[in-house]
Amino acid sequence: MSKALRSLEYEDLFHHYQPIVDGQSDVVYGYEALIRSRAGIGPGELFQNARQCGELYRLDTLSFEMAIAFYFGGERSPNDRTILFVNLLPSTLAHPSFPSFMSRMEGHYVRFFDRIVVELNESTEEANLWSTPGFAEGTGILRASGIRLALDDTGEGASSLRKFVELSPDIVKLDRYFAQGLTESGQKQRVVNLMAELCRNDSLLILEGVETEQDWEMARSLGVSLGQGYWLGRPGQLPF
């Protein structure tokens, strides 16, 4: 077994949390949980190795549960109502064991479900799963439990708009490409403004990859609801 997968046995995995900031008030709306390994293995390599060794579902559900347990188990202010963003793969939602996994999660964490957003990524390896009955069942289970859905990296894949229509996500995360040099690009400004209009009534729009004050100010003026990126806060330990 690879070093990456052995790390699951030895509890080398943990999470950093990156803030997501409200575009109107500039206060923290929530945090995205990002998996890390004390063995020095990057997230991409970790998940790729897990996929190759048939451990992908195990890794993904373990990361999901760990992130939730740590976030809601901390000694923060009782008035804290920030939202936790956690990633899940389409293959995890379509897995035969996912309903029983969520049933167990509900037994432990149901009181927090209204503060959880599941991010779904449009990866090329799992593009065919979005139209399967298993994926539809998985998203239905999450929604029925009160967990909201986010479409991650929107604009990166060719079928992003189709997924936006079919999934009707609660939150749309616009790919970081559109934040880079936003102030100088009229074309990017038009795309961001278009997405803000599309999301106005039914979804919150998050612009990822915000790295300068100027681009953040431009994004807010174009109607972006929320922002994420190094300018707004780097991944790290939670501020208990």
- The amino acid at residue 10 is Y
The percentage of residues in the chain with a pLDDT greater than 90, rounded to a whole number, is 72
Say how many C-beta atoms besides its own lie within 10 A of residue 83's C-beta: 19
Q: What is the pLDDT of residue 125?
A: 79
Task: Give pLDDT, residue 60.
Answer: 95
Domain ranges of the chain: 3-227
Mean pLDDT across the chain: 90
Task: Name the nearest CA neighbour of 118 among 154, 163, 87.
Answer: 87
In three-state secondary structure terms, 173 is strand
Q: Quote the tokens at residue 86.
A: 């956690």
Structure confidence at residue 158 (pLDDT) = 56
Confidence of residue 212 (pLDDT cuts 50, 70, 90): very high
Q: 3-class SS at 48? A: helix
- SS3 assignment for 86-154: EEECHHHHCCCCHHHHHHHHHHHHHHHHHHEEEEEECCHHHHHHHHCHHHHHHHHHHHHHCCEEEEEEE
**Confidence at residue 75, expressed as pLDDT on a 0 to 100 scale:** 61
Kindly state the average pLDDT of the residues 95-118: 97
More confident residue, 123 or 65: 65
> What is the residue type of 15?
H
Separation between Cα atoms, residue 123 and residue 57, nearest integer Å: 15
- Going from the C-alpha of 130 to that of each of 17, 138, 145, 197, the distances in angstroms are 27, 10, 20, 25
- Write down the architecture of domain 3-227 according to CATH: Alpha-Beta Barrel (3.20)
Q: Give the mean pLDDT of 129-141.
A: 96
How far is the CA of 182 from the CAs of 6, 75, 191, 192, 218, in angstroms? 42, 38, 10, 9, 7
